[in-house]
Structure 1
Amino acid sequence: MQVKVDKLDIAGQSWKEFTLSNTQGMEVSLLNYGGIITKIMTPNKNNEFENVILSYANYEDYLDNPNFFGALIGRVAGRIEASSFQLDGKTYNLPSNEGEHHLHGGSVGFHKVLWQADTFEEAESVGVTLTHRSQDGEAGYPGNLVMKVTYTLTNENAFSITYEAVADQKTVLTPTNHSYFNLSGNLKTDILQHDITMEASRFVELDHELIPTGKILPVEGTVFDFRRGHAIIDGVHSVDQQNLVALNGYDHYFLFDHNKKENVVVTEQTSGRKLTVQTDQPGIVMYTSNGLDDTLELREGKSAKYLGVCLETQSSPASLEHEDFPSIILEKDAPYKTTTSFTFSTK
């Protein structure tokens, strides 16, 4: 197991790309800029290693990165309605970057930070720990926040992300990672035939601007019911109003039942690849890249609608407006810690 480090000069900035590799041949590459994951190389059923995430052909494109490819998201993943929230009677105004709303930490969120990076190599794992001191008022959020994110790869082909933080005053926090997975390998096909199994009996209703209405709906009898597994394409062809507001697909928060150790399982039949997601987070946003077009130059070709699926484990920013949603409030001096792991195998 080892960590390889490459130095990059991007628009006058000194970036580093770290490549984690294990004894099975799996590799994960990531940048200290934005904590962006640029490549995940995993084997198919014939033991052929291919990239299973969307990434830019030119690293300069990560400077803008409006689709958040591979990025570390924060302080708050998801949409904050009208770019403001109240905490203990005080209103905090945030920069708007999606209409009048604040999305994924804003235009200067964690995905635009040049993180301090420290590597480690152990007997059964290797990784990188990223650290950022987010100042009080950064992107409008209250409190000085010390954020630490650790990426770890094991010999069992498990790639985990651990988020740790502490703030010197009450604030809000729910970071995530925004990688777009495509298990076909090297973007050979779209993700419409990817099969999803998810332990979630409820999901959050969205309005036409993708803002939660406050209603939590049962999945029973809808194409949002993944408890026994089905293909993503079922939601694309659906006439359910919730699929239509998401531009014919999914961009919804699912609340986990936590009945099983495996929260989400994704499989792709042709490659034989299987991705298992395990997390201690209360839910996940599954986004099926409904808003992607064909204008971006990716590592293996042009971008396209339905080319990747994001699996964003997190709490819910809707909790700032509505009751009965998983809270994103972090109390002063309270330790924050959560881990999500992505384990790759073949059927």
Structure 2
Amino acid sequence: MDTSRRTVLAAAAAAGLMAAAGTPSYASSESRTPVKELFGTLPDGTKVYRWTVENGGTRLKVLSYGGIVQALEVPDRHGRYANVSLGFDNLGDYLSATAFFGALIGRYGNRIAGGRFTLDSTAYQLSVNDGPNSLHGGARGFDRRVWDVEPFTGPGGVGLVLRYVSADGEMGYPGTLRTTVTYTLTGRGDWRIDYAATTDRATVVNLTNHTYFNLAGEGSGSILGHELRLAASRYLPTDATLIPTGELAQVAGTPFDFRRSKSVGEDIRTAHEQLVTAKGYDHNWVLDKGVTARPEPVATLHDPGSGRAMRIATTEPGVQFYSGNFLDGTLTGPSGRVYRQSDGLCLETQHFPDSPNRPEFPSTVLRPGETYRSTTVHSFSAR
């Protein structure tokens, strides 16, 4: 465990923090057996459960519906805990909202132009749910499916194995896709996500998680003061519907340059055509490392106020940085406060948007006999 992590856990223990007013208090770095409780019931009678996983001083609450991260709780520099992810305290809001709070995204994270692609000379029409395009797997993507969940505790950590079988033709995608996603909290308190999938027909796959982060705490206000660094020299400009144009543009000299840490809000109001079109940041950064066999560090996020910091390592070649542009005050979090523009941000590790229509992009094709694998690790500290 790193020094900053030991310091905040010791501070929490010394303070003898008590659970009050919904504020978690747990300073132990020891793992605990995941706890299951009923969260709600779908209109068809299907029960949705919430699992609480705890290890290394981090607590994760996950729903069987959508594999949603309903809460992610970590300490600040003084050992005080807060939920640093946006979401809801009831199932009904998850069913009605389209913000993808905390959800597993599939079969294809991000946008596919026109909801169409051709694979092996066969054209496929997907569910269209974002203007003319297909977004995050369509109208009923993996975020709106009930996953089978199995808890585990082992030497590598404690967590959950989530499984879902997507039928051939679901949302227009070919092939029966068998997906396994493993959420692990390690002894260091890292949150690791391992994705795996197989298919019986050639298809396209791009899985990710859509957690909105606010390291100051859910409902605390804007993330524009958060400091972000991205290990990316290029990004993908988009058209008016947020589909990549195909250009891999240099970030140098633009508001998209996060190679050195800077506040999210430093350049977000710049009259740059790409920022105007997206109403902020909603673009894919082309990571300098490319696709790697093991997770490599690609991003750091820091909230100066609380001292909380998050480092992201991934095997993926891209990260979609979304600055919460479309949060408009119509959604209310568990804090009782409404979410407004830039009250949370997403850092979605993934392959590039619209790759099925861009052969020059890293391939997202999965064929029978192959196994799709991807790993992303979120590491937390405070300073």
TM bin, normalised by shorter chain, reads over 0.9
Secondary structure of the structure 2 residue equivalent to 1:100 = coil
Aligned residue among 173, 183, 191 for 1:151: 183
Alignment check: 8 A CA contact 1:96 1:102 kept: yes
Q: Give every structure 1 segment of 4 or more consecutive aligned residues whose post-TM-superposition deviation is greater than 6 Å.
A: none
Is residue 328 from structure 1 mapped to residue 364 from structure 2 by the alignment?
A: yes
Q: Give CA deviations for 1:323-345 in whole Å, capped at 9, x if unaligned.
A: 43122111222011110011110
CA-to-aligned-CA distance 1:303-341 (integer Å, 9 cap, x gap): 111011101111123222224312211122201111001
Question: Is 2:350 the counterpart of 1:314?
Answer: yes
Relative distance call for 1:23 and 1:176 in structure 2 (3 A) is closer
Q: Which amino acid aligns with 2:209?
A: N
Match of 1:268 among 303, 322, 342: 303
**Which of 94, 100, 103 is the matching residue for 2:132?**
100
| Separation in 2, partners of 1:322, 1:126 | 39
Moved more, 255-264 or 107-116: 255-264
Partner of 1:256: 287
Are 1:20 and 1:127, in contact at CA under 8 Å, matched by a contact in 2?
A: yes
CA contact (8 A) 1:58 1:297 kept: no
**AA of the residue aligned to 2:181:** V
TM-superposed CA distance for 1:124, in Å, is 4.8
SS at match of 1:181: coil
Residue deviations 1:168-198 (CA, integer Å, cap 9, x gap): 1110000100000000123323100111111
Q: How many residues align?
A: 345
Alpha-carbon contact 2:219-2:338 (below 8 Å) kept: no
**Could you say what secondary structure the match of 1:344 adopts?**
strand
CA distance in 2, matches of 1:170, 1:81: 19
Does the CA contact (< 8 Å) of 1:95 and 1:106 recur in 2?
yes
Counterparts of 1:239-250 in structure 2, within 5 Å, are 239-247=271-279, 249-250=280-281
Q: Aligned partner of 2:382: which letter?
A: T
What residue in structure 2 maps to residue 199 of structure 1? 231
TM-score, length of structure 1 as denominator length: 0.97
> Which amino acid letter does the alignment assign opposite residue 210 of structure 1?
L
1:172 correspondence with 2:204: yes
Q: Deviations over 1:263-300 (max 9, x none)?
A: 00000101000000000000110000101110112111
The one-letter amino acid of 1:213's match is T
Matched residue type, 2:111: R
Stretches of structure 2 lacking an aligned partner (at least 5 in a row):
1-30
Residue correspondence of structure 1 range 28-43 to structure 2 within 5 A = 28-43=60-75
Q: Which amino acid aligns with 2:189?
A: N
**2:284, 2:353 within 8 Å by CA — same for their partners in 1?**
no
8 Å contact kept, 2:40–2:91: no
Cα distance in 2 for residues equivalent to 1:296 and 1:23: 32
Residues 265-274 or 308-317, more deviating: 308-317
1:233 alignment partner, one of 226, 250, 265: 265
In structure 1, runs of 5+ residues without a counterpart are: none
Identity percentage of aligned residues: 37
The answer to which structure has the higher strand fraction is 1
| 1:239 CA drift (Å) | 1.0
**Secondary structure at the counterpart of residue 247 of structure 2:** strand
> Which residue identity is paired with 2:210?
H
TM-score (ref. length: structure 2)? 0.88
1:65 is displaced (CA, Å) by: 2.9
Q: What is the match of residue 36 of structure 2?
A: 5
Write the distance in 1 (CA, Å) between the matches of 2:189 and 2:103.
21
Relative to 1, partners in 2 of residues 1:231 and 1:23: Cα closer, same or farther, differing over 3 Å? closer
Give the equivalent residue in structure 1 for 2:9.
none
In structure 1, the residue matched to 2:120 is 88
SS at match of 2:229: strand
User: What is the match of residue 317 of structure 2?
Assistant: 282
| Matched-pair contact (CA < 8 Å) for 1:250–1:286 | yes
Partner letter of residue 269 of structure 1?
Answer: P
Q: Cα offset for 1:8?
A: 2.7
1:88 alignment partner AA: D
CA–CA distance in 2 between the matches of 1:126 and 1:109? 27
Deviation digits for residues 4-61 of structure 1, max 9, x if unmatched? 111233233201111111142x200001110000000100001000000101132211
Find out whether 1:302 has 2:338 as its counterpart.
yes
Measured in 1, the distance between the counterparts of 2:40 and 2:359 equals: 47
Task: Give the Cα separation in 2 of the matches to 1:261 and 1:73.
Answer: 22
Distance across 1 between alignment mates of 2:296 and 2:143: 30
Rounded Cα–Cα distance in structure 1 between residues aligned with 2:135 and 2:218? 29
Per the TM alignment, residue 106 of structure 1 is displaced from its structure 2 partner at its CA by: 0.6
Check the 8 A contact 1:184/1:270 in 2, yes or no: yes
Higher alpha-carbon Rg: 2
Which amino acid in structure 2 is aligned with residue 5 of structure 1? K
1:57/1:297 contact within 8 Å kept: no
After TM superposition, the structure 1 = structure 2 runs for residues 23-172 of structure 1, keeping only pairs within 5 Å, are: 23-24=56-57, 26-172=58-204
For the residue of structure 1 that corresponds to 2:246, the secondary structure is: strand
1:19 equivalent in structure 2: 52
> Structure 2 CA distance, aligned partners of 1:139 and 1:86?
15
CA distance in 1, matches of 2:200, 2:267: 43
3-state DSSP of counterpart to 1:180? coil
CA distance in 1 between counterparts of 2:156 and 2:367 reads: 35
SS of equivalent residue, structure 1 residue 63: helix
Provide the rounded CA distance (Å) in 1 between the counterparts of 2:200 and 2:116. 21
Determine if the alignment matches structure 1 residue 208 to structure 2 residue 240.
yes
